[in-house]
Structures are given as C-alpha cells and as structure tokens.
Amino acid sequence: MALPPEFMEDLRSRVTLSDIIGKRVKLIRKGNRMNGLCPFHREKSPSFYVNDTDGFYHCFGCGVHGDAISFLREQEGLDFMEAVRQLADQAGMAVPQTTPIDPERTRQRQQAMDILEAGTRFYQSSLKTDAGKTAAHYLQSRGLTEDIIRQFRLGYAPRSGLKASLEQKSFSPNAMKTAGLIGESDRDGSLYDYFRDRVMFPIENRQGKIIAFGARALGDAQPKYLNSPEGPTFSKKAVLYGWNQARERVRRGLPLLLVEGYMDVIAVTASDVAAALAPLGTALTEQQIQLVWKLHDEPILCFDGDAAGQKAAFRAIERIFPLLEPGKSVRIAVLPEGQDPDDILKSDGPDGLTRVVSAANSLIDAAWRFVASGFTLSEPGARAAFWGELRGLVRTIAHNQTRQAFSDEIEFRIRQMRATTRTADASGFQQLQSVRRPRPATGSEKRYGVLLSLLLHHPHTVNDRFEALSMLNFGTNEFEDMKNALLDRVIRDPDLDAPALKHHLETLGYSETISVISTGDIRARLTTAPEDMSPPVAEARIDEIIALASQRSRRG
C-alpha cells in the first residue's frame, strides 16, 4: 500500500523539521543548520545536526540519519502511517486513502522525467545551432554569460525536431504527451512539438531533476511565456524556479529575494549579491511560502515597481500573514516605478541591487503602507476604516503569540496616530507627503537642513545621538517628518549605509526634501560637501549643531 508521491512531496515541503525535533531536542542555530545533543544516543558534546532546507537530520556521533517521518517513528514508536497522519494534522492536510503501489504509475512518472531530461539536452544543443542564433543573441543581449546559461541549462526549442529526437530514443508518443513535450491537434489528431521557437527555461525540483519547462516566445506568439502543462511530475503551485541555485547561495549567507520572472532569478543569481526564487507565473501560494522559509527565515519580496507588481506584493502579504510564526517573516523591497531587479542590475549594477535590498521594509511597515494607500487618512472616518482593516489582517495570523505581538505593534502605531494632529504616512510614523509651496528658509531651518544632510550621508552617527536628535524639533513639517523617518529606519537597521538610506527615504516620498537639503543655501553653509567629509569631521559638525540647537531650545 502507498500514498501518492505528490502528497508525500507536498507534506514534506510544508513541515519544518526543526519545529518537530525542537520539541524534544534543544537546538542551536549554526549558520544554515541547527545542532544539539543527539536524542538517539548519550553524548556530552552536540553532534546532532538538523537541516531544514533539505529536510533531514544526521548525527556524526552515532550515524543516525532520517527525515520527519523517521524521527517520529523512532522517537514515539509510531508506524509509518501514524507518523504521516501526525505530520498531516500539523500541516492542515487531509491524508488520502492509501492505494496499492501502482508499478505502472511509478514507471510513467520516471519515464516522464527521463523524457524531460532528454528534452533539456535537445534544447541545450539546439541553442548552439544556426536555428538557435536568435535565441542565443537574445540571451547575450540580456547580459547572460556562457557560464550562467550552462548553470541554468537554458536552451532553444526549434519549430520542429524534438519529437523525432525522442522517437530515436524509443520514447512513445503517449509518454511524450504525458511529459508535456508533445501536443495533439484538435483538428486532425496530428502530433506536434509543444514548445516551438522559444527560449527554454528548465524547471528543477529540489533534487535537481527536470520536472517541467518555462518558455519565452521570440516572435509575436502568444502567450509570451508558456509553462509545461501540469502532469505526473509538475504542479506549478508547489514549485519555485531557481531552487538549487538559490540554496547554494543562501548557504553562503546571501539574502534571498522572491522575484517575478525567470530572467529576474537568473540576473540576480548572476550578480552574486543575492539568491533568488520565482513563482511560475501565478500568485505566491501557501505551499511556496512554506518552501521559501525552508531556505531562509526572512526572504525579501522584490516584485516589479509597477502597479501590477505592487498589487502582487500585497496579495503575497495577505497570504503570508496567516502563516507567520516566531522567526519566520518576510521583508518587502520597494522598487522604482516600472523597474524590476534585472532593470536595476543593468542600470546601477550589483551595488544598486544591494541598496534596494538594504532598504527593504519590514513586513509590518509594508503592510501599514499598502493598506494606508487605500485611504484618505486626513479624514477621521477613513482612519477608523484603515485601523479596522489592519486589525483584520493581524487577526488572520494563526499562531497565538505571533498574532499578539503584531497586534501590540499595530495598537502602538494607532495610538501614535491618535496622539498627533498630523496624518501618519505609509511607514506608520510620518505624515503623508503633500505638495507645499516653497518659502525662504530661516537661519534655524537652514541649520536643521545642514544637520539632516549630514545625517543622511553619515547614518552611523545616529545611534549615539538618537535621544538628542529625537528631542529636537527640526523647525518645518518637511524636515521634522524626514528626521523621524530617518531615525526610525537607522534604529531598525544600524548597518544601513548612506545610499541605501537615501533610497529608502525616496521610496517613502522624501525626494523633494532630499533635493532641498542637497542644493542652494543649505548646502552653501558647509565648506565641504557632506558626502566628502571624513567621519570625524562630520561627527564634530553634527555635535556642534545639536549643542547650538539645544541651547536655543532651552532659552526659548
């Protein structure tokens, strides 16, 4: 008797091994793994390791090795089905009825994977033929090197030829159709290559086996992107593109980005400043979120900066909230309007992408901003509706302690909004930006402009002066708002550098204020440009302005 392999793969993807073992063994994180004292033999020094990414445990002392099912069987004396049912209950899944092992179904699944591997090799070789020149030129025009093309096994599907190639390897037409590489005409029943004149992106499972393809049209064919049909090897809601490349980079300590498309994954991977995964043309699913958390505890959603990309990001946030647990969250990167990660890498290089990643918002900041964008917060009724929607979002969190922690934070921010006559902006702490008529700045305003400019270019100075800066009123609403936003961001991320801080403030709507403090009379009050000042000189100037402003405040 057996359970469907698709169910078992789904179950293992939804279960976090360290959560199960951590109830019985005190685990301590060591990089991307956790270790503790082995529960299978007596030891004084920990030699038992748990790997959530690959879903296995191993003891270097006694040699025991297994997955979540084997752990429950050994520790609790359960049989296989009892262990499966316990895990399924935890994952909220229904266990299907067991059926006798079907050798034919197993054979078909393996044969489909053999055909997909053969298809990958055919597409790879076709990329190097005369017919593949246009596809090869397209990949080169996107900045892809031979190494990265080889790493992702990219290829080209010619208008014909795959069917004949597979027949030479003794694969039957029915097996080719099952694998999703051959289609059948509704008109006359003739068979044809399913992918034609397209750049091919092989999709791997977590074991590195080809299970499907994504394909981009080179001409005017529609749809522009086409995935393999679902079948015995492929369910797109449970797969993420780029898994194996991302796993290797996460192990090296790189951040993990969730992007929208194949080319974004490849471009980010090639930059070597981050790892990347992408859903396969669908909204991020619960299964995919759980999969991502197996690689990284706090991945960064990095969807396109256009309206559709931002809408997709908020839909992802709504799906993530119910799944939140201690230590599992996401951050949200705000991309410039109309740009995706590949565009940023082309225009600003790896440093540009690093700035975007460094300026990513926390989940609660991003949720506040997205929800706030749908309300006119200067109106009391709209504020009440805004608060109600936020509270409703938090109530979807299933984990009790996590829900309470988020609720406490939301209520704190709401109290802050109530305590001020200004409307909070999307970050939850500052006023919504509005267009104001410029007027001549007073001497004190110029001084605060200088101080803001220095802090913007030397964010490392904030931590030691946070209290003094918080007590100062920077004179104008524009300066005071930006000061609060700047302090808030630096305290949340003390390692933030100047370019990343500037990018973050610009995404919150402070571009105009940054322009004001970077030009004209304000900049003229400094003999050396803030960005050119050495840290000691900048710190001395900041302390001088704070001391002068504090004295005048006390006299006032």
Check: CB of residue 300 under 8 Å from CB of residue 257.
yes
Rg over alpha carbons for the chain, rounded to the nearest Å, is: 28
pLDDT band at 438 (very low <50, low <70, confident <90, very high): very low
The pair of structure tokens assigned to 265 is 């994954």
Q: What is the pLDDT of residue 434?
A: 35
In this structure, of 61-65, 210-214, 241-245, 346-350, the range with the lowest mean pLDDT score is: 61-65
Angle between helices 498-507 and 443-457 (to 10 degrees): 120
Burial of residue 440, with CB atoms counted within 10 A of its CB: 0-12 exposed, 13-18 middle, 19 or more buried:
exposed
pLDDT at 306 over 80: no
Residue with tokens 């988020």: 406
Provide mean pLDDT across the span 85-98: 79
Nearest to 394 by CA among 410, 383, 413, 381: 410
Three-point CA angle 144, 149, 151, nearest 5°: 125
pLDDT at 487 over 90: no
Question: Rounded to whole angstroms, how far apart are CA atoms 450 and 538?
Answer: 11
Q: What is the CATH number of domain 5-91?
A: 3.90.580.10
pLDDT at 307 over 80: no
Nearest to 343 by CA among 354, 332, 335: 335
Check: CB of residue 170 under 8 Å from CB of residue 219.
no
Class of the domain covering 103-234 = alpha beta
Q: What pTM does this model have? A: 0.67
pLDDT in tens, 255-276: 999 998 899 999 999 999 999 9
Helix (H, G, I), strand (E, B) or coil at 399: coil
Q: What is the pLDDT of residue 520?
A: 67
Q: What is the pLDDT of residue 202?
A: 97
pLDDT at 16 over 50: yes
Provide mean pLDDT across the span 11-20: 84
CA distances from 173 to 7, 113, 386, 473 (A): 28, 15, 57, 76
CA distances from 292 to 161, 282, 285, 298 (A): 37, 15, 11, 9
Provide mean pLDDT across the span 371-388: 88
Question: Rounded to whole angstroms, how far apart are CA atoms 307 and 337?
Answer: 8
Class of the domain covering 443-555 = mainly alpha
In this structure, of 164-178, 430-444, 471-485, the range with the lowest mean pLDDT score is: 430-444
The pair of structure tokens assigned to 335 is 């991309």
Question: Rounded to whole angstroms, how far apart are CA atoms 259 and 106?
Answer: 34
**Beta strands 300-301; 331-332: pairing state:** parallel
b/e for 28-50, b at 16 or more Cβ within 10 A?
eeeebbbbbbbbbeeeeebbbbb
> What percentage of the chain exceeds 70 in pLDDT?
91
* Amino acid letter, residue 369: R
Contacts with 514 (C-beta within 8 Å, 6 or more apart), sequence order: 456, 482, 502, 505, 506
Q: What is the pLDDT of residue 264?
A: 94
Architecture of the domain spanning 236-421: 3-Layer(aba) Sandwich (3.40)
pLDDT at 501 over 60: yes
Query: Do the domains 103-234 and 5-91 match in fold?
Result: no
pLDDT at 521 over 80: no
Check: CB of residue 279 under 8 Å from CB of residue 257.
no
DSSP state of 229: P
* Amino acid letter, residue 183: G
Q: Which residues on adjacent β-strands are paired with residue 275?
A: 256
Domain range list for the chain: 5-91, 103-234, 236-421, 443-555
Provide mean pLDDT across the span 51-60: 84
Q: What is the mean pLDDT of the chain?
A: 85
Residue 259's φ and ψ, nearest 5 degrees, are: -115, -175
